Amino acid sequence: MNWLVFLANSVSRTLSARQKRVILVLLDSSLLVLALWTSYSLRLREWAPPTTLTQFTALASAPVIAIPIFYALGLYKIVVSYLPERALWVILQGMTYAAICWIVFSFVTEAVVYGFVPRSVPILYWALGIILLSSSRLMVKALLGGRSVTVPAKVVAIFGAGTGALNLKSAFAQEPGIAVAAFLDDDPNLCGRVLGGTPVYDPSELNDVISRFHIGEIILSNSSLSLKQRQALVEQISAHGVKVRTLPPLNDVAAGRYVVNQIREIDIDELLGRSSVPPEPDLFERAVTGRVVMVTGAGGSIGSELCRIIMRWAPKRLVLFEANEFALYTIEQTLLAAQPDSAVVPVLGSVTDAALLRRAIEEHGVEVLYHAAAHKHVPLLEVNALEGIRNNVLGTLTVAEQAFEAGVGSFVLISSDKAVRPTNVMGATKRWAELIVQQHAEAARRRGTLQKFSAVRFGNVLGSNGSVVPLFKRQIAEGGAITLTDGRMTRYFMSIHEAAELIVQASALSQGGDVFLLEMGEPILIRDLAETMVRLAGLKLSTPETPGDIDIIEVGRRPGEKLYEELFYDPERAAPTEHPRILTAPDSACADNQLGSALDELRRALNDHDEARARAVLFGLIDKAT
């Protein structure tokens, strides 16, 4: 038996896909003739071979009718060694149609062996045809595979039929339980062809391919897809409950080195309608290259990404200031793993500790300071208002004062769109932080120190600590309902990486007292975000008409939440900068005595643990300043 397996594999490797199909068609034709002749012989108990032209014509009608039906059903595009179950199902369908068509043909032409068709002959022909054709497929599978037939645990299709797709298919060939059933490509020169034993279909046939091959996952290998094409494709695929994943760009992986574990989930930010803008090296070099940089809140979502980006542009030293011990350890180890010889200095402490801040700044000669440390979770700060005010307002004041007195050349506050006409403690504290930074910018102008104090204001970042994206991911993974506060709620979104890159570039544009606004695109309905995430997970949403995998439940807005956020106090006054994604806007500022007296009153309210008075002072100043 081993020699037979070896011979079959040797022959298979030498034949082209077209030659294999021709052989299979000839084999099926012979088996269909045999099935029909056997059907008559069993019924009439006569085993004589055909001798007349009429008898030969009748037997030849079986493959003439059946083979086109098999072609139409895609039997000869199925890779038998991977998809025996699919082939058997098509044979069952095809033989049913073929038997019915043969009966009609026989009665119309009277081209039958004995001048009539016994009722049992079509049934015998149908059954014998299924048995013979199925057995031939199973035998091919056994010979080519050298083992018993197994049904793959996962059947996938690859969108794109280029080099990356072919390399990926080769990688899948080494993975047990995974079969590549089809390629999808809009190149007319490829559609209808068979590459490496796998047929190529036009994307318009996507629905048919999914249902025909029982596709469980589609992998996007075509990096040239436009954003709109990718969005439409994900929506179309996920409507079938099929998971979508993607390959990294070709230039990220050496040619021919694709492996299955390089396939990744599609990031939600890939579908939010934001085209990437290449960073401008000159701005990064002006901002951080060769300089001592300090990041407060270095272990947070924005702070840690700032640190990673800054390290790529060769600062002289990077000081990590963080209150959370584990977060500080994590970002330090991450940076050292990427660049073992880099000058990274971890400092554990709170931004309200003036002495520690002053010591860290002076000891390491900090020239650029990014202040990202803040409490940002809106509902939590509504019930912990005093701590939010202490950390976000007095913490910012402390960092700005120490940077000013120590002569730090550039100070950048990470602000928020919630600072515009705030309705919650988090937004109000961020607005106070902006006013504090503007006060120090004005002080630097009066003294002629050439120090530049600025703020960068933007919306939500995808995946940041406390944002809706990690919450929705967890709820989807647990199979429970997604909790949505209000179906009408919109937010601005960008990726953490894009936000951090723009912050660093904005700092190089500062003239002192600037409030930079990152261009966030169009606001997005939170409900749309949730639905997209469900589709990316390959799941279906439940609707009143159709039950699905995941429900979306509206629980009502939480205290302090707005239906929509704003980036500008006065959009008409926003002006462009030399970077297309960074705007700047003039902003009102408080007089020194006005802000100073409000700060004194705020400190007294905090010391007295008087939340009502602290809130009154907090929002009262904002009303006066705007």
Digit-coded pLDDT (tens) for 154-190: 788 888 887 777 777 777 776 666 788 888 888 888 8
> Would the pLDDT of 372 be above 50?
yes
Same domain, 174 and 200: yes
Same domain, 126 and 236: no
Closest CA to 122 of 54, 42, 52: 42
Whether 8 shows a pLDDT value over 60: the answer reads no
25 and 124 belong to one structural domain: yes
For residue 507, being part of any structural domain is answered with: yes
Select from 113, 145, 177 the last residue of a domain. 145
Q: Stretch 352-381: mean pLDDT, rounded?
A: 95
Least confidently predicted of 49-53, 433-437, 456-460: 49-53
pLDDT of residue 260: 47
In-domain check, residue 95? yes
Instruction: Say yes or no to pLDDT of 386 above 80.
Output: yes
105 — pLDDT class (breaks 50, 70, 90): confident
564, part of any domain: yes
Domain annotation covers residue 245: yes
- Please tell me the distance from the alpha carbon of residue 338 to that of residue 310, in angstroms, as a whole number: 13
Report pLDDT for 209. Answer: 86
pLDDT at 348: 97
- Answer yes or no: do 195 and 252 share one domain: yes
Share of the chain above pLDDT 70, in %: 81
Domain shared by 49 and 95, yes or no:
yes
Is 290 contained in some domain? no
Please tell me the predicted confidence (pLDDT) of residue 613: 96
pLDDT the model gives residue 164: 73
Read off the pLDDT of residues 214-250 as tens digits, 9 standing for 90 and up: 888 888 876 566 666 777 777 777 777 787 887 765 4
Q: What is the average pLDDT across 597-604?
A: 94
CA angle 301–302–308, rounded 5-degree value: 95
Most confident of 95-104, 142-151, 198-207, 383-392: 383-392
Residues 431 and 511 in one domain: yes
Dihedral, 65, 66, 70, 71 alpha carbons, nearest 10: -30
Q: Which residue has the higher pLDDT, 264 or 557?
A: 557
Q: Looking at residue 465, what is its pLDDT?
A: 65
Tell me, yes or no, whether 168 lies in a domain.
Answer: yes
Q: What is the mean pLDDT of residues 50-63?
A: 75
Give me the mean pLDDT over the 507-532 stretch: 85
Instruction: Identify whether 573 is part of a domain.
Output: yes
CA distance 555 to 557: 7
**Would you place residue 106 in the very low, low, confident or very high pLDDT band (cuts 50, 70, 90)?**
confident
- Whether residue 491 is found in the same domain as residue 445: yes
Q: Which of 5-19, 39-53, 155-169 has the highest mean pLDDT?
A: 155-169
Decide if pLDDT at 331 tops 60.
Answer: yes
pLDDT computed for residue 153 by the predictor: 59
Q: Are residues 102 and 244 in the same domain?
A: no
The pLDDT value given to residue 3: 41
Check whether residue 134 and residue 173 sit in a common domain.
no
Domain that holds residue 214: 154-266
Assigned domain for 540 exists: no
Give backbone dihedrals phi and psi of 7, rounded to 5 degrees, phi first.
-65, -45
Mean pLDDT check: name the lowest of 96-110, 222-236, 289-303, 406-420: 222-236
Q: Are residues 463 and 401 part of one domain?
A: yes
CA 346 – CA 360 distance, rounded (Å): 10
pLDDT of residue 429: 96
pLDDT at 51: 67
What pLDDT shows up at residue 80? 54
Q: Last residue of some domain: 246, 266, 286?
A: 266
Q: Cβ–Cβ contacts within 10 Å for residue 187, how many? A: 13
Q: For residues 310 and 95, give the distance between their C-alpha atoms in angstroms, rounded to a whole number.
A: 67
Using the 8-state DSSP alphabet, how is residue 224 labeled?
T
Q: Looking at the structure, do residues 126 and 79 belong to the same domain, yes or no? A: yes
Contact 240, 210 (CB under 8 A): yes
Report in angstroms the alpha-carbon separations of 534 from 475, 477, 492, 495: 10, 10, 20, 19
Total tally of structural domains belonging to the chain: 3
R_g over Cα of the chain: 35
The CATH number that applies at residue 394 is 3.40.50.720
445-454 tens-digit pLDDT: 999 999 999 9
pLDDT at 437: 95
pLDDT digits (tens, 9 = 90+) for 129-150: 888 888 877 776 665 554 444 4
pLDDT (average), residues 18-45: 82
Highest mean pLDDT among 53-57, 113-117, 451-455, 564-568: 451-455
Average pLDDT of the chain to the nearest whole number: 81
Q: Which of 224, 240, 266 is the last residue of a domain?
A: 266
For 548-583, what is each residue's pLDDT tens digit? 778 888 888 777 777 777 776 777 778 889 898 898
What tokens appear for 504 in the block? 């660093």
Clarify whether residues 190 and 131 are in a common domain. no
Taking every pair of Cα atoms in the chain, the longest distance, rounded to a whole number of angstroms, is: 116
